[in-house]
Each structure stands twice: as structure tokens, then as C-alpha cells.
Amino acid sequence: MKKATCKDLRGACDAEIQGETPEQMGENCKQHVMEMVGAGDVDHLTAIESMKQLSPEEQQAWYEAFKNGFEALENV
């Protein structure tokens, strides 16, 4: 199991996000962000908006970089 912060995943806070795989961590982060936005958090809403500004190619490139760096993340 690896861990990263919400910020590492283009989020907005230092909340710890864990996952066995990049996919799982991405899912967990999405859930966290949705929860925060649901609670009315503006910073996380801004983070989503900034992600949406990226082209699909840029989003893909970011995700590839995240996947490539996943093994280097801290173990939990």
C-alpha cells in the first residue's frame, strides 16, 4: 500500500490518500475530493476546475507521470 497527499494528486489539502495501485489511489482521491466539495469546500472545487482546464492529452500525460512515480511513493 502506498500513500500520497491530496495535493500530490492535484487536490487541495494535505489529507493522506492511500491505495494499492495508481487506479485505486486515484479512485480514493476522487472520493475524498467529492466529499470535500459536497461539504462545500471551495479549494477542492477549484482543484477540479483546474483539472478540467487541461486537455485530455495533458490529463493523460499527468496520469502517466503519476503512474510512473507510483512505485517511488512512500509505503504505508
* 47 makes contact with Zn ion (CB under 5 A): no
Kindly state whether residue 22 participates in binding Zn ion, applying the rule CB under 5 A: no
Contact 6, 13 (CB under 8 A): yes
Residue 6, interface with Zn ion (CB under 5 A)? yes
The residue within the footprint of Zn ion, chosen from 3, 8, 10, 13 (CB under 5 A), is 13
Element (H, E) at 27: helix 22-38
Q: Confirm or reject binding of residue 15 to Zn ion (CB under 5 A).
A: yes
Q: For the chain, how are helix, strand and coil distributed in percent, rounded to 5?
A: 65, 15, 25
List interacting residues with Zn ion (CB under 5 A): 6, 11, 13, 15
